[in-house]
Structure 1
Amino acid sequence: MLPTTTNGGKRSASQRSGLPLYLRRIIRPKQMDFEYTFWLMQQLCISPKTAYRHTSYHKQTKNQWARDDPAFVVICCLLLAVAAAAYCATFSDGLWHSVLTVLSAVVVDFLLIGMAIATAGWFLANKFLRKRTLHSHAIEQHVEWMYAFDVHCNSYFPLFLLLYVLQLLLAPLLLWRSLVAALLSNALYAAALGYYHYLSFLGYSALPFLEHTEVFLWPIALILVVLPFAVLTGFSPTRFTLNIYFG
């Protein structure tokens, strides 16, 4: 039992020091693995199960589920800033408003809302979805908050490609006041949000000590229920979102 106790202590210490190390690496680009990050982003779009298969490898080598490399977050923030700037160049009419829009996209939409979603997923998983240990000597495992935030970041990247990049390219069509435009806009948002929740499900189901992770798929059912009503009423999420940011 002594080796088990010692390892558990080392793991706790590593997890406690993980966030400061994570933050220190943000200002040291040479310590970030950008090549792996771009590979991971590609896999999240074409083979998400392969991407999460590497989560177990990370656990075996780093002794934690969460990434200790902030490269993914840094790249996402940069891409979001560039995309938001492109929207501002297209729809905004003022420099100060453009700066606020870019900051809002990165800090509020991606980081702060992402932290809130990660906290909710972290609480739900630890409170209700952990398997009960059958043996008293088994090591009790918990979902790390940083891993929950990793799940959000992973899920957000394909959503970014659909709702930031593709939507901007299709904006002349999506902004038409027609049933076809509303249909395409709703389909785009349904696909982006549905894939976000599907990747979240994969992220939590990759943890072997969790069960009933299909609860993370439930929002997809709600999206499918709301979708026909949104189309029939002519509601366009593209117009709605752009009105929020650009009036």
Structure 2
Amino acid sequence: MNSKHQSSPAPSRSVSQSSIIRAGSPLPVPVSYRMDCMSAAAKRYKYLRRLVKFQQMDFEFAFWQMWYLFTSPQKVYRIFQSRKQTKAQFARDDPAFLVLLSAWLCGSSIGFAFVLKLGFVGFIKFLLYVVFVDCIGIGLVIATFFWFISNKYFIKPSCRDQDVEWGYAFDIHLNAFFPSLVILHVFQLFFYHVLIRHDWFVSRLFGNSLWLLALGYYIYITFLGYSCLPILEKTQVLLYPLTILVLVYIVTLVIHWNVTVWLMDFYKNRVL
């Protein structure tokens, strides 16, 4: 005889993980399940779609990253490692950093327009050049180059089934570009007319030293970005360009080449 209190059958093993997730579990979705199957194109689409959804962007966290890129860039890359564990990708999925960087580019371009005495049309040309050539254009080339060599030469033999995401390579460029932007396109402007543009040794020393600091920072932050990946080895070779940079810096002082004045003239001729 069947009992009234017959126990309910055990849940079927065929229940999908997605239905369990919809049940409201507070735990993060396992890395093995989350977005691993999402293609690179789908990730890019999701990222670009969020560019117009400002209310969903974490600007406070993006400000935090910008601050620590100056004071302790290692902390920024620890966040990238955590993202890999929780979202199955190293690259940013929140465009807030890119939006804030765009605001910095606009603000610094206004400063350049004032220092170089550019009109409104000249300002627009300069802004477009800085955004689409200096930041995006050169960034695409650098990110693609490092993405290629890191996957071809730096992957550990035991990790050949993994790779460095191109989006992460571009994020490294943006991380390294931001401190250089502030040093060369903001801080440097305050000293251009009063010191740097004069034909004095101290002018060349100060101006060229700012370029040494900015480019050295770019190389160092780029190195940190790749060295923090556990699937890569021998990333210390990315620091070798620092030696070449120092040698070029010494040569510019010896031959009386004021790099800042030369590039200011270059920018001005590009927009006139």
Which TM-score applies when normalising by structure 2?
A: 0.84
**Offset from partner CA, 1:18-55 (integer Å, 9 cap, x none):** 10011011111111110100001111100111111111
**Offset from partner CA, 1:69-110 (integer Å, 9 cap, x none):** 111111111111111122112213432222101111112111
Contact 2:34 2:87 in 1 (8 A): no
Distance (whole Å) between structure 1 residues aligned to residue 34 and residue 92 of structure 2: 20
Distance (whole Å) between structure 2 residues aligned to residue 8 and residue 25 of structure 1: 23
Q: Does 1:222 pair with 2:244?
A: yes
1:30 to 32, 35, 55: 55
Which amino acid in the other structure matches residue 152 of structure 1? Answer: H
Hey, which of these two has a bigger chunk of helix by percent? Answer: 1
Aligned ranges 1:1-247 → 2 under 5 Å: 7=32, 10-13=35-38, 15-133=40-158, 140-172=161-193, 173-247=195-269
Max Rg structure: 2
Distance (whole Å) between structure 2 residues aligned to residue 10 and residue 82 of structure 1: 36
Change (3 A) 1:228 1:139: closer
Distance (whole Å) between structure 2 residues aligned to residue 9 and residue 30 of structure 1: 24
Distance (whole Å) between structure 2 residues aligned to residue 64 and residue 205 of structure 1: 16
Contact 2:69 2:175 in 1 (8 A): yes
Question: RMSD of the TM alignment (CA)?
Answer: 1.7
SS at match of 1:13: coil
Distance (whole Å) between structure 2 residues aligned to residue 221 and residue 201 of structure 1: 14
Identity of aligned residues (%): 38
Contact 1:33 1:69 in 2 (8 A): yes
**Offset from partner CA, 1:119-166 (integer Å, 9 cap, x none):** 111001011110012xxxx77110000000000000111101110111
Contact 2:73 2:221 in 1 (8 A): yes
Contact 1:197 1:216 in 2 (8 A): yes
Which amino acid in the other structure matches residue 221 of structure 2? Answer: L
Provide structure 1 residue ranges, at least 5 long, that are not aligned to the other structure: 1-5
Cα deviation for residue 10 of structure 1 reads: 4.8
Distance (whole Å) between structure 1 residues aligned to residue 172 and residue 33 of structure 2: 24
Which ranges of 4 or more aligned residues in structure 1 deviate by more than 3 Å?
6-10
Provide structure 2 residue ranges, at least 5 long, that are not aligned to the other structure: 1-30
Change (3 A) 1:13 1:93: closer
SS at match of 2:36: helix
Cα deviation for residue 14 of structure 1 reads: 5.0
1:3 aligned residue: none
Which amino acid in the other structure matches residue 212 of structure 2? Answer: A
